[in-house]
A = this chain, B = another copy of it.
Amino acid sequence: MAEKEAVQSDQQTLGDGDIEDLCVAVSDFAGLSDNELQFSRGDKIEVLQKTSEHWWWSRLNGHFGYVPTNHVVSFSDSSFKQISWQDCDYFENYGTLKLHLEMLSDKPRTEAYKKAFEVYCRHTKDKVVLDIGCGTGILSMFAATVGQAAKVYAVEASDIAHYTKSLVDKNGLGEQITVIEGEMENIVLPEKVDLIISEWMGTMLLFEFMIETVILGRDKCLKEDGVIWPSEAQLYLAPCSAQSVYQAKVKAWDNVYGYDFSSLREEAVKEFFYKPIYNHNLSDEDCLAEETCILQLNMKHVQIQDLEKIDKDFSFLVKKSGPLHGFCSWFSVGFSHPDSDSPMVVLSTGPKHSQTHWHQHLFMLDEPLSVAPDNEVTGRITLIRNTEWRRHLTVIIQGQVLKSVNKERIQSFHKVFPLWMDQVLKDEYIKPKD
């Protein structure tokens, strides 16, 4: 039988179904016998079994042992940091090399930042830069060497920061770059900065809501005439075919080695299409209409409260016939400088550009709809930030296919997609309107 699942479980993951029992050490403990864990204040320890009131069977860095419960605070204690941000999981992800390697290996992503420093170098020279969520420090290094910044503050909350300092030193940039280990929210810089750089974008642009940290950093640290990179962001939507996905997940059940397994189709739709397919590679030919922009952010001015609920009507003119399986989404960001006439540096994650580690996000309807050229697909997309799990959101897509001639409604659709945790929604979002 399959063992692939276990591979994935070997990775620290963020999101649905991964509420582990974790505690944080509030004081050092030496471990008095072989079956007691040794740990230091601040260690995050996995609780495997709450064996007794006084001792929990736990794991830390691959070692197993008991921890005395009076030395730790459980994450579920209300006294502890709100679990709704899942910061422990979140920063634990970014504390491993795996994600950083993936991001660094994403050349369109990383080189867009580098190019911004190349194009606007004249304006970043000798300036002070803040890198929010610096990771391994690559963007700070671009700022220091390509951008010739005088000073870079590189802030990182995950454990990767332990390494960042030594990487900066090894590359002879210790004078220019100051690595600060901590959360942006708690940090006070000795000065305001000319430029903020950050790579905060996630699925549907907003997932993980790191943008909130960037906005907080901006309001706290950016000079009034300062610049923020990316300077703007756009989120796009397009109706599309996804025949191979539909074939592989739904139609496959119609004929299984000659047997009829089609009674599993409904369950398959539920299981495979309940959430968006996050790593879809949309081919341009599968777009049934030109994409439309459903969200435009000006990073200098966007406010946190703007992101709680986003509503956008759409209207697509179908350009080719085909089964409409769902909608695809992607985003782009732009880097500009007010003192420069250079054309904007753009990083697009769309199907017409080189594939990035974000891919495209595919929202599959339960059943494909037939559309023909000049049909209109009109409706509304709503993004609702999860009120409980603050790094998550829910996407609602609803609308209809209209005939080209008399605008008569042929078919309609309405679907709610959680990314990733479910949330309780008002009836108006759950129930399709007539």
Contacts and interface: CB of A to CB of B under 8 A. Distances in A.
User: Which of A15, A97, A103 is most buried by chain B, counting CB atoms within 10 A of its CB?
Assistant: A97
A1 B199 contact: yes
Contacts of A249: 101
Interface stretch (A166-174, A304-312, A372-380): A166-174
Contact of A6 (B94, B163, B278): B278
A434 interface: no
Given A63-B422, A167-B261, A422-B63, A201 B8 contact: no
Contact of A2 (B6, B9, B76, B99): B99
Given A83-B49, A257-B114, A5 B1 contact: no
A12 B18 CA distance: 9
Contact of A1 (B76, B94, B97, B279): B94
Given A114-B257, A136-B261, A252-B105, A10 B163 contact: no
Contact of A64 (B252, B256, B279, B422): B422
Contacts of A275: 10
Contacts of A358: 3
Nearest to A83: B49
Given A17-B46, A138-B259, A102 B9 contact: no
A104 interface: yes
Interface residues of A, number: 89
Contact of A19 (B2, B48, B263): B48
B11 A8 contact: yes
Contact of A104 (B13, B63, B133, B256): B256
19 contacts: A4-B279, A6-B13, A6-B15, A6-B203, A7-B278, A8-B11, A10-B15, A17-B20, A19-B20, A19-B21, A21-B21, A49-B83, A59-B422, A97-B264, A104-B257, A142-B257, A163-B267, A171-B259, A171-B260
